[in-house]
Amino acid sequence: MAVQFDVVLRNGRVIDGSGGTSARADVAITGDKIVAMDELPAGCGDIELDIAGKAVAPGFIDSHTHDDRALLSMPDMAPKASQGVTTVITGNCGVSLAPLTPRRDPPPPLDLIGDRGWYKFGTFGAYLDALDSSPPALNAACLVGHSTLRVGAMDDLSQPANDAELADMRDRLQGALDDGAIGLSSGTFYPPSAAATTGEVAALVELAGKAGGVYATHMRDETDHVMDSIHESIEIAETGDVPLIISHHKVAGKGNHGRTLDTLPLIQDAMERHQIGLDVYPYVASSSILSAARAATAERVLIAWSTNAPKMAGRDLSDIARDWGISQDDAVERLNPAGAVYFLMSEDDVRRVLQFPHTMVGSDGLPHDSHPHPRLWGTFPRVLGHYARDVGLFSLEEAVRRMTSLTADRFGLTGRGRIAAGAFADLVVFDPETVADEATFDAPAVPASGIDTVFVNGQIIWRDGAPTGARPGRALRRQQLAND
């Protein structure tokens, strides 16, 4: 008698995540695992889906997100599920929703993911428990933010931490690591952490290293001093004996265009002696809090949200300043608190980072912006459709590797990122000929085309262009990952 499976995907082009050549095969799922990959007898699945003409790949792992709150407030996670993403890495750029119960409104950029009411988790374990009790559609592996630790431990963020404050941060970080955090992130570019010394960050990173975690950083500078920032990041990681991940690697500002010719060899050389990874989003524009200094270096600035002038979301800063009859700097002051999309990078640099063989793909999307950067909805299909199929930067198999097994290995997500018997059934079925990002800077919240069906832990969460309502996602605690 033939073995009976829960689901069989038949006649698909299997891209297994390794980067190797794809091949036609059937894929069988039972429970939350892939249990067979072969030519399987007819009728052996309780549910059988014929996906001839389509590809099936491991679900994409978004290496860089700010989905901490979104996992709770929009649990269908449509912006990500619609792209084939099945796992998100949260808590990036030094900003995590926990552990913090602030006495005042959270300063920028903490406000990008929630107001004071959302910072209600005094421990990291309380946040992970909230994900357990009300599961989202996707899996989440969560970093602790250095800026979040600073806001919780310090009254004056404009100064380096003193010994008592550093001890407080170390205690909070150790508690979070014990609760299941996968490591530490920093954002020394931003005001809450800009005053932190190299030593302060290294003293925290050391704990992440001892716990077997990772260190991800939005470096101190991605413009004129980008090389110095890379050196500092490597020094911190080596001192803490922890794998380094350079977040959304870029060289920003017209005067720095082309400098990836310098940064990537530096990173490559350092990889010879230390574990280093990096991620990138496939666009020439960034997105963050609105800053007059940042706006002055950009070719174009698009307002993503504004507390004081919400109707300005989606408009160019230059047009707003002209209509108001004031300078651009004065317009920034009137709009703030606000967020913006900055056109700062060159296409050649973006492609060069994308082609670097160690580069992961991360959206860096901001899910709570009124008019978000299109990377929130379009990152992964853009790599598959535009850069792999249309531009030919790399093969489809290589594109999938950079979005699956490479990321799983960097973050220690055992059992995910590959199609193999025994792996978790996180899968995406898509059409290689039609997959494309549809989100634009003018209309950013548009689902991609060509994404057919998405599975998380064996359950279908996206089909026929819409969420199914299933919410099988899991909080992936570091200790459990080590045992999977």
Q: For residue 472, give both structure tokens.
A: 């099988």
What are the tens digits of pLDDT across the range 378-414?
999 999 999 999 999 999 999 999 999 999 999 999 9
What are the tens digits of pLDDT across the range 13-70?
999 999 999 999 999 999 999 999 999 999 999 999 999 999 999 999 999 999 999 9
Q: What is the DSSP letter of 479?
A: H
At 276 the pLDDT is 98
Over residues 273-280, the mean pLDDT reads 98
Q: CA–CA separation, 180 vs 23, rounded Å?
A: 37
Please answer whether residues 281 and 248 qualify as being in contact, where contact means their C-beta atoms are separated by less than 8 angstroms. yes
Q: CA–CA separation, 251 vs 190, rounded Å?
A: 17
Over residues 448-471, the mean pLDDT reads 98
Overall pTM > 0.95: yes
Residue 147: closest CA among 177, 111, 103: 111
Under the banding of pLDDT at 50, 70 and 90, the label for residue 2 is low
- Helix, strand, or coil here: 80? helix
Q: For residue 74, give both structure tokens.
A: 């929009």
- % pLDDT > 90, the chain: 98
Q: For residue 317, give both structure tokens.
A: 């800063």
CATH 3.30.1490.130 domain position(s) in the chain: 285-344
Over residues 107-134, the mean pLDDT reads 97
Place of tokens 């949260």: 90
| 294 pLDDT above the threshold of 80 | yes
- Helix, strand, or coil here: 179? helix
Indicate the class that CATH gives domain 59-283+345-414: alpha beta
What are the tens digits of pLDDT across the range 158-177?
999 999 999 999 999 999 99
Q: For residue 105, give both structure tokens.
A: 């409104």
Under the banding of pLDDT at 50, 70 and 90, the label for residue 482 is confident
End-to-end CA distance of the chain: 31
What are the tens digits of pLDDT across the range 185-241?
999 999 999 999 999 999 999 999 999 999 999 999 999 999 999 999 999 999 999
Beta strand 466-467 pairing with 139-142: unpaired
- Helix, strand, or coil here: 8? strand
At 484 the pLDDT is 66
Mean pLDDT (the chain) is 97
Q: b/e map of 135-146 (b: 16 or more CB within 10 Å)? A: bbbbbbbbbbbb
At 3 the pLDDT is 79
Please answer whether residues 80 and 136 qualify as being in contact, where contact means their C-beta atoms are separated by less than 8 angstroms. no
- Helix, strand, or coil here: 227? helix
Q: CA–CA separation, 71 vs 132, rounded Å?
A: 11
CATH 3.20.20.140 domain position(s) in the chain: 59-283+345-414
CATH of domain 285-344: 3.30.1490.130
Element (H, E) at 439: none
Q: What is the DSSP letter of 359?
A: E
Under the banding of pLDDT at 50, 70 and 90, the label for residue 150 is very high
Q: CA–CA separation, 53 vs 470, rounded Å?
A: 26
Q: For residue 135, give both structure tokens.
A: 């599961």
